[in-house]
Structure 1
Amino acid sequence: MATVKFFREVELPQQKPQDDGVVFPAVLSPNHTTDSTAVQLPNFKEAIRAHKPWLESLLQKSGAILFRGFPVASPTDFNDVVEAFGYPEAFYVGGRASRIKVVGRVYTANEAPPEKGIPFHHEMAYVRDFPTKLFFFCDEEPGKGGETPIVLSHIIYKRMTEKHPEFVSQLEEHGLTYTKVSNEEDDPSSFTGSGWKSTYKTDDKTVAEERASKLGAKIEWIGNSAKIITGPLAAVRVDEESRRKTWFNSIAVSYSGPANKRFCDVDTIVELGNGDPVPDDAVEDYLKILEEECVAIPWKKGDVLLVNNLMVLHGRRPLLKPPRRVLASLCK
């Protein structure tokens, strides 16, 4: 495993080796040869800035980096770490999760009850302007459960192409259209429960329509509720660095057919861009493949997870024993 001055790559039992010899995700801890007094937050931030090209190269190879054992003790510390990377903030306009600002660029990840799982997804794959990088921070370590499982999207594309070549061909040709009915106010019981006022950061219907349009969506009003129609949007994208196709869509959080009864959101519909339905058997196999290929590393207090949103899908396992507090920051 590699060592770069301040950082040392370590192995965890949950990691998965890939065909190219890369492990997923990469896990970094402070270098043992570093004086313990040097492993403080200012030194960590300085090391991020000094080794950013190497960290970005590692992120591109692995898809995600878990930083474990570093002195990140609070949401403010986490905000400092995010800012040390220097990525522009991706503002959560058009997002469907109910989230609360904590400090600076840091928000709660999702206000839905923690005992509810969240299906795998690429962040904001249902809008034109999506974040390219995601940061997660474990502020309170879960008692049991509550992992944030991740999976490499190009592997999902490959396996779905082998299992359902015709469906994947239709996805690539037509893309997907997402339709969601959003009430005025947030519904904290749902993982896609953001009301249209929170979604578009306004209580003015005209402004909401304008902001939706910029994100490739249109709104049809049903009284004071908004029927938000987005697409067709690409459901398969190409990672420019690796030239690999990725399964970049929100089928698992939007499909409400029999295969997805455990997670379906009755206010959301997803269909092929030509209006054809998404086949239930394909979704059933897709959900199984996700579980087979994913990695779920139990959170530890102070963990920071950096995810390449173009390469990796993420979700949330149900919390079996509280507490749990995982915060997030989105970057362009």
Structure 2
Amino acid sequence: MPQVAIVTSFVSLLLVLCCSIEQTVEVRSDGSQSTSRTLLQNRTGWQGDYMDLTNMPDLPTWCMESELPQQKVVNSKVFPLVLTPSSSNVQMSAEELFEKLEHDYASLYWYLVKYGSIFFRNFPLKSAANFDEFVKRFKNWEPLPYIGGAAVRNKVHGNVYTTNESPPDAKIPFHHEMAQTPNHPYYLFFYCQQPPTQGGETPILSSYEVYERAKTSIPQFIDKLQSTGVRYVRHLPDSDDHSSPIGRSWKSTFLTDDKHEAERKHLQSGGEFEWLPDNVMKTTSAILPAIRWDNRTAHFTFFNSIVAAYTGWNDSRNVAERAVIFGDGSPILPQDIQVLVQIMNDLSVAIPWQFGDVMLIDNKQVMHSRKAFTPPRDIYAALCK
């Protein structure tokens, strides 16, 4: 019999109750009162102040807004924002770029929040080391260790990692980075060191727009998501499985070879675990909100990895349709997933990679995916909070 150790920690309770509780008092006809409490997850979100995005700072003079044919207009704004060097800065060095960025990163943050993503093209970034320095110039953002993520990744330089190393013919569905964990990055950088021969784009979309369309198309599904949240279920192998898009082992996931330490870290996140044969660790996440409120923009976002889990978490250990469930334990229906997939396909923007490109994503409001490709392809990532 497999060893079973399922523990729900106090952290899990806090995560479930991270939203407000509304108390309702009903006065009956006989004068007695009935008190009920309703969990309000529709205001679960992140700390942060509202930002008046109609009153923007000027773009730094060393860059300018450009256009690419793949961009779309989303919510009356171009998506993503594309920046290239201004005419007087075409020949600037990497060191000059870092100096300018360090001075102007606060202004760029406003543009990131307004547009959701900034695509930097034709800037002097030639290596993973250059990319790492570029990321470091966003001074208020701290590097986030890759703990709890599902994909196999390798460290390249500093806070720079490879992206998902699943086979090139595997498509990775839309998701928010590490939304299946309580500790996810707020900002996500991608850098192109080697563009693929064919395909391999990193499509993006507005999670705010997904929420708005889904609220109209499948309102009952959205209501249930807001009231119950979701839980993610994964079977983690004993060693990394590079044939799987979610093949990261429990040792890599929790950065330890010690089972007890892996258990401790997972319980600390509010989850549950079970040891199965062949040292496979079955993990069930804490109940996590699937829709969040972004104070900065005063918008709801469809912040989760539901579609990615339900359509992409398949391998010899995992069954995708059982990889994500409602917070009350009930299954998610395939017809709702089909609607979400169609919405995401309609909103998707995919820009072909060129050497030196950087895509900065506000992970609170933009989802990303990966198309299949013909190798070679070297796209690196850096996570920040």
Asked if structure 1 preserves the Cα contact closer than 8 Å seen for 2:105 and 2:137, the reply is: no
Aligned residue number for residue 72 of structure 1: 125
Measured in 2, the distance between the counterparts of 1:124 and 1:52 equals 25
Q: Is the contact made by 1:94 and 1:215 (CA closer than 8 Å) also made in structure 2?
A: no
1:17 is aligned to 73
Taking structure 1 as reference, are residues 280 and 5 closer, same or farther at Cα in structure 2, changes over 3 Å only? same
> Aligned partners of 1:153, 1:242: CA distance in 2, in Å?
12
**Paired residues of 1:127 and 1:217 also in contact (CA < 8 A):** no
Name which of 252, 266, 290 aligns with 1:235. Answer: 290
Shift of 1:214: 2.1
Matching residue's letter, 2:381: A
Name 1:100's counterpart in structure 2.
154
The 2-side partners of 1:24 and 1:316 are apart by 17
Contact 2:269 2:286 in 1 (8 A): no
1:280 partner amino acid: P
Mapped contact 1:65–1:305 kept (Cα < 8 A): yes
Whether 1:110 aligns to 2:159 is: no
**Matching of residue 275 in structure 1 with residue 324 in structure 2:** no
- The superposition leaves residues 207-261 of structure 1 with CA deviations (integer Å, 9 ceiling, x where unpaired) of 0011112222222111311010102110001112001100011112211xxxx3x
The equivalent of 1:176 in structure 2 is 230
Contact 1:253 1:265 in 2 (8 A): no
Is this contact kept in 2: 1:3–1:31, CA < 8 A?
no
Judged with a 3 Å threshold, the aligned counterparts in structure 2 of structure 1 residues 161 and 14 are, in CA distance, closer, same or farther, namely same
Partner of residue 28, structure 1 = 83
SS of residue matched to 1:4: coil
Q: Which residue of 2 aligns with 1:141?
A: 195
Equivalent residues of 2:199, 2:352 under 8 A apart: yes
- For 1:92, give the aligned amino acid: Y
Which aligned segments of 4 or more residues in structure 1 are displaced greater than 6 angstroms?
none
- Same amino acid, percent of matched pairs: 39
- Structure 1: 5+ residue runs without aligned partners? none
Give, in angstroms, the shift of residue 3 of structure 1: 5.0
- What TM-score, normalized by structure 2, do the two folds share? 0.81
What is the aligned partner in structure 1 of residue 353 from structure 2?
299
In 2, the alpha carbon distance for the partners of 1:300 and 1:146 equals 11
Give the unaligned 5+ runs of structure 2: 1-57
Distance 1:281 1:104 in 2: 43
1:61 is the counterpart of 2:61? no
| SS of 1:137 mapped into structure 2 | strand
Structure 2 match to 1:119 = 173
Which residue of structure 2 aligns with residue 328 of structure 1?
381
CA distance in 2, matches of 1:143, 1:183: 32
- Quick check: 1:105–1:329 contact (8 Å CA) kept in 2? yes
Q: Tell me by how many angstroms 1:282 deviates.
A: 0.6
Q: What CA distance in whole angstroms lies between the structure 2 residues aligned with 1:69 and 1:292?
A: 28
Question: Match for 1:220 among 274, 283, 294?
Answer: 274
Report the AA paired with residue 29 of structure 1. Answer: T
Alpha-carbon distance between aligned partners in 1 of 2:127 and 2:105, rounded to the nearest angstrom: 22
Q: Please tell me whether the aligned partners of residues 127 and 216 of structure 1 are also in contact (alpha carbons under 8 angstroms).
A: no
Give the Cα–Cα distance (whole angstroms) in 2 for the partners of residues 174 and 322 of structure 1: 42
- Alpha-carbon displacement from aligned partner over 1:254-292 (angstroms, at most 9, x marks no partner): 11xxxx3xx342515111011111011110111111111
SS in 2 for 1:313: strand
Compute the RMSD of aligned alpha carbons.
1.2
Tell me the residue number matched to 1:265.
Answer: 314
77-86 or 150-159, which deviates more: 77-86
What amino acid maps onto 1:75 in structure 2? A
3-state DSSP of counterpart to 1:45: helix
Return the offset for 1:23.
1.0
Instruction: Describe the superposition over 1:13-33 as per-residue Cα deviations: whole angstroms up to 9, x where unpaired.
Output: 11111233x211011100013
Shift of 1:178: 0.9
Amino acid at match of 1:178: Y
Secondary structure at the counterpart of residue 88 of structure 2: coil
SS in 2 for 1:291: helix
Q: Which residue of 1 aligns with 2:207?
A: 153
Matched to 1:13, the amino acid is P
Q: Which amino acid aligns with 1:302?
A: G
